[in-house]
Amino acid sequence: MTDNLEHARLFQERVSSYIKMGLLNEENDLKEDWHTFSYILSTVPITDLYHITSSQNVQSIFEHGGLISRVEQDHTGTHAYYYVTPRSDRETRAKYVHLSFCPNTSVLTALEQQKEQAVLLTIDPIAALLKGTSFLYYDGDDPSKQQPSGNETTESLLKIDFDAEFLSLSQFLREQERLFELDSSQTEDRSAIILVPYKVPSFLIKDIKLL
């Protein structure tokens, strides 16, 4: 519990620092109840979010100030970005950047099939608090088939099964292959999805590594 409380304190300091530096605007950029995340961190050790993409995108990510959605790409005329998303996502979630608590193995598989070098981006969980962000989680229905609303409160993160998320993350980090030994339909149906509208700014990208 002490470690979680310290993690929550450091998180609060980090957000305050970004606000003071002008990188974030509390009123315009963050969910109204973003402070609730400190309470969540005191009980759940959320340290990172993840995004898998092609290595082709690394230069573009930093040239354009972060991860950008397909809609933002079209709006800014950025056409060098290589996307790997399910067909349904291309149509219904084009304005969102997809993040997760465990690396998305369906994207990794798609990159492997297309003989693309995959990279894993580690993202500051502050990204989950950006205004308009949606949280999709397993509640009997497949999150990948749910529709984002953008109106979820930060507190709704507590509905996510973090035991399952952290178990699959632990296995992924050990083997860097597949989620824990369930078939893909079981793991993907239960994996929570964080949908950030339009952009995840580059200052929230903590690390990039080849897979």
- Helix, strand or coil for residue 135? strand
Q: Which residues have C-beta within 8 Å of that of residue 13, sequence separation ≥ 6? A: none
Q: Say if CB 172 and CB 71 are below 8 A apart.
A: no
In a 10 Å sphere around its CB, with 0-12 CB exposed, 13-18 middle and 19+ buried, how is residue 21 labelled? exposed
Q: What is the mean pLDDT of residues 32-44?
A: 85
Q: What is the mean pLDDT of residues 181-191?
A: 47
Looking at residue 179, its pLDDT comes to 40
pLDDT for residue 176 is more than 60: no
Q: What is the mean pLDDT of residues 104-115?
A: 77
pLDDT for residue 88 is more than 60: no
- Whole-model pTM: value is 0.82
Looking at residue 75, its pLDDT comes to 73
pLDDT for residue 49 is more than 90: yes
Q: What is the pLDDT of residues 139-165, one digit of tens each?
A: 656 656 666 665 677 877 777 777 777
Please give the residue that has the higher pLDDT: either 55 or 75: 55
* Torsion sign (Cα): 123, 129, 134, 135: positive
Chain centre distance of CA 179: 17
Q: What is the pLDDT of residues 113-127, one digit of tens each?
A: 888 888 899 999 999
Q: What is the pLDDT of residues 56-83, one digit of tens each?
A: 888 888 888 898 887 777 777 665 555 5
Quickly count: other Cβ atoms within 10 Å of residue 139's Cβ: 11
d(CA 45, CA 131): 22
Looking at residue 69, its pLDDT comes to 82
Closest among 66, 47, 209 to 128, alpha carbons compared = 47
